[in-house]
Amino acid sequence: MEKREKSEEKEWDFKSFWNYISQLYLYGEHYLQNYTANRLIKKYPNEITKDIKV
pLDDT of residue 15: 83
pTM for the model stands at 0.46
The mean pLDDT of the chain is: 77
Is the pLDDT at 1 greater than 80, yes or no?
Answer: no
Average pLDDT over residues 35-41: 88
Residue 41 and residue 49 in contact, taking contact as beta carbons nearer than 8 Å? yes
In this prediction, residue 50 has a pLDDT band, given cuts at 50, 70 and 90, of confident
Q: Residue 37: which region, alpha, beta or left (left: phi > 0; alpha: psi -120 to 50)?
A: alpha
